Structure 1
Amino acid sequence: MEALNFADSIDYFLDRHAKERLIAKGYISEYTQENYAGHLRRLGRYVSESICKTKHPKNWSKKNADERKEDVDIQFEKIEILDITRDLVEDYLVERSKSNKKPTTLNAELYCYRSYFKLLSKRFSNIENILDGLERARFKRTESKHLVENHVERLLDYLLNLDRTDPYQSRNGIFLDVLIKTGCRISECLNLKLESIVYREEMIACVFFGKGGKVREVPLPYHLDGKVINNNIIFKENINEYIELHRKHFLKGKDSPHLLLSNRGNRWSDDQARIMFNSVMATLDLTTYNYTPHSLRHSVATHLLYKGVPEREVATILGHASPTVTNQIYSHTEGSKIQRGMTFGF
């Protein structure tokens, strides 16, 4: 089989990778496919720029940013897979690390490149698996950051006093409600669809599609202490009001399956949701603590573990691959920290 140039090989790799995943796992992650495409294109542009600099160093130094970009665009379409060497990949990852990319991000990129060369080396005789044996970056797992008790109480009071008659406040409130009541990931929350909200007699639940294509249903409430039952009734009323009255404000005549929508009737984006979250943290005077939407996930997990919920059940609620993952993330959290931080009921 005749070898492809690098640009064409990206589509070839993504197509073959998707088919292999479908056979092996029974699903295809569009998010992973998009990430792989981005990783490979960035690597290709880095290699293209290196070639441009090497071929015409004097001319390159005289060109402005637009001219350099044009040269890289042209070179990108010309580079061959064989132009990409192990040294170039390592140099590229070093450059990425200097731009404060996290080790987890670099490892994800390296995994993509290793998969790319492994697959192509099996299908093209002139292509070697040049990254075979290249090790991942080593890193320590940082302590999970959760909200302390009085900060959670501030957030719960904020949600209780929201003007839910306003479409934006209603939507924002549902977003925060789901995060703090289920411990879901922000991507899972934003990917919720109308059909993801299910009713079981007096119980309401969210169906999440998590990492690795795993599906889980998280009922509300998932524990029965204090004011949880009343909170669940309030949440049910709030989400029904949003769906029946306020969601259509965002649709703008469009037809969308997603629960949380942008001003243009599209799925509410990660960036927009984070901007809103940061605004709420500023309102609550919590900006200096650098909380993120993921901090609410850690808060739920830490609270459940403090309440004595078995790790296996917590892993199921959070969508972890196994209780081992849950233990790795939260085993470092001292009991005293958990007790100080998470004695509330939501």
Structure 2
Amino acid sequence: MKSPAPWTWIKSPSPAVGTGRNSPPRRSRFATGEAGAPPLMAYTRAHALLFLAPLLLIVLLMYGMMAWTVAVSMDDWVGMAPVWKFHGLGNFRTLLGGALRERLFTSLRNNLIWLVVFIAPTASLGLFLAYGLDLVGRAERVLRPLFLYPIALSFVVTGTLWAWMYDPDAGVINNLLRMIGLGRWAQPWIADPGLATFCLIGAAVWQYTGFAMTLYLAAIRDMPREIFEAARVDGASDVQTFRHVVIPNVGHATMIVVAMLILVTLKVFDLVWVMTFGGPGISTEVLPFFMFVATFRQQFIGIGAAISVLILILAVAVVVPYAWWSMRRLQA
């Protein structure tokens, strides 16, 4: 008599209720409200509050430090040791009408130059490059990383590279001008008080054009392709398509790009530190650099806090009206 095969001794378990392919799905205790089920809404709210706790901590720290800065700006704090001697608006009077008035106005003027000269070329070049990349097809895979590479660099690296390029004797720019017979156009660049700020802005435009291009490219790719096909059917050229189709439909991207670039101009520090250290003289100083020098170099902590408050006021005065105007225009 043959013994049964070994695998016949093992009895396969009967399928559990609700686990078979044709079995009806099991109903959850959470859905049926059976006894013993945890209260779902209370469970969700408790964990939501738990996840929001870090955000709440960040908000408290941010606004707490802002309030602390405003308080310090009204103290006569000189030196690194805290001096809680109430000074009222004395620090602001020193900045606006005292010995530091010329330096403050020079820094403010340079920040305004950054706002005007930096934002328009960066946003415009970013839009042109984004539209060009949308047209070139497969070549975009090669070209896009080339334009994005500068934004991956820190301002310190960018400042070092461009300081070498602007060098009057060994710099690439002057040497190229001499090689092509335009040596009379060679300039001291960042050593010239009249050119230095614009040279810094040129380096920043090179770095942030890729950032603007990325946002504009995303906006163009988000547009319906039927719009471009209709323009081609109507015989529109690439330039006409850019003017009448692309520009009117990337307003939301323009609002984001300009707002971000405004913040960049208001907190620019690294390029000034690396390339000119505020010089020649104080010709390239901006408000963040002036604040750093007053606070950590000269240890006028109250003055530095007052400059920080002025930067905040300037940021609100520029960003809030622009955001309001942009939203009204987009909704129109």
Greater share of helix residues, 1 or 2? 2
Scaled by the length of structure 1, the TM-score of the pair is 0.22
Please identify the structure whose Cα radius of gyration is greater.
2
Which structure has the higher relative contact order (CA within 8 Å, separation 6+)? Answer: 2
Greater share of strand residues, 1 or 2? 1
Scaled by the length of structure 2, the TM-score of the pair is 0.22
